[in-house]
Amino acid sequence: GIVDLKTFRSMLDGTWEVTNDLAETVAENLNEKRLLDPASIAMVCVTHIPTNSGIINPVEDIGQIVAEYNSQHKHNKHSKLPSILYVVDACQSVGQIPVNVQRMHAHAFTATGRKYLRGPRGTGFLYVPKSIVNDLVPSHVDHASTPLAWVDSEPTLEATTKQSTLQYNYREGAQRFELWESNISTKLGLGAAIRYALDDDKDGTVSSAPGGLQSIEGRIKLLSDYTTRHLRTMKRVELFHDNYELEKDGNNDIGIPCGIITFTVKGMDAALVKDKIMEDFANGDAYHIENYPSQKGRFEVSIVPSTSTPIDSKNTNVGTLVRVSLSYFNTMEEIDLFLLKLEHVLSP
């Protein structure tokens, strides 16, 4: 969903009044004026680009607010960690827009390889600053990330049931988050995908996306803007969170700012809309219309069920959405064909 900076700042200022629907959940953290106690906040988690909309949340501004708070407050004097940890989920943003963890002031930054980086499924990465990495305890460990330092050579039956018979140390740095079992080939594939996106081909082993991330971002925004403006003209089509962009910029011509565009069609199930649109894309038929060549497998239309984003779906009262995922390799011809197909679906 959308992060409102004014509301977020009031949470850390101690001036945010909790509404009735949240009061029971956070009751122990409220004062007599029903204001949230910022000292009760341990972590702020933000999704950079949600899976169900094209919103780009202001993660750098949010990080700056958290950093300012941490510089003035210390919840636990015995801990080396900041009072509030800041975690950014960049699953949908890495690979389509430039990101900078330093400007975000992120304490953890996560991303997947299989989406806009176009890397292998099952890959991803976690960034944690060196200044705090050795003070964090991993949720999962094995003998690689947490090797045993000592084992009782002759444990008794009673002793084997006690943790004191084992002494272990977490590895320093990123290795404490890495497990022994991993797929080396997919890691290499992820590396190649990152280098491709960054236009970093110094040794000539991979081809590159021309211009790197700046070029990728510009291309995707161009395609998204074109698609958004045409979808707004279609009756029965409602773009999700479209008002956010229009109100923010005050410009009716502004498009969704990234490659994720979601919408509903009045009176039609989202899954049915998706299936009808994708029929010809999937089989390469593409209506056999001149100037609309077959683009089999290159254009992605899917659905986002409300269960993928339960809180935002509840707050906005929106169910399953149709989702268009645009990438830099898509063409205007493909978008025109998609729009033509959608118009056909909407026709009586």
- Which tens digits make up the pLDDT trace of 35-74? 888 999 999 999 999 999 888 999 999 999 999 999 999 9
CA 176 – CA 170 distance, rounded (Å): 6
What pLDDT does 314 receive? 87
Residues near 198 by beta carbon (within 8 Å), at least 6 away in sequence: 208, 212, 213
What pLDDT does 281 receive? 56
What pLDDT does 313 receive? 87
Write the DSSP assignment of 201-225 as a string of letters. -TTSSS---TTHHHHHHHHHHHHHH
Which pLDDT tens digit goes with each residue over 188-227?
999 999 998 987 545 544 445 557 888 899 999 999 999 9
Mean pLDDT for the stretch of residues 176-183: 92
- In the chain, the amino acid numbered 107 is H
What pLDDT does 72 receive? 94
| pTM summary value | 0.84
Mean pLDDT for the stretch of residues 12-24: 74
Q: Distances from the Cα of 99 to the Cαs of 2, 95, 259, in angstroms?
A: 18, 9, 15
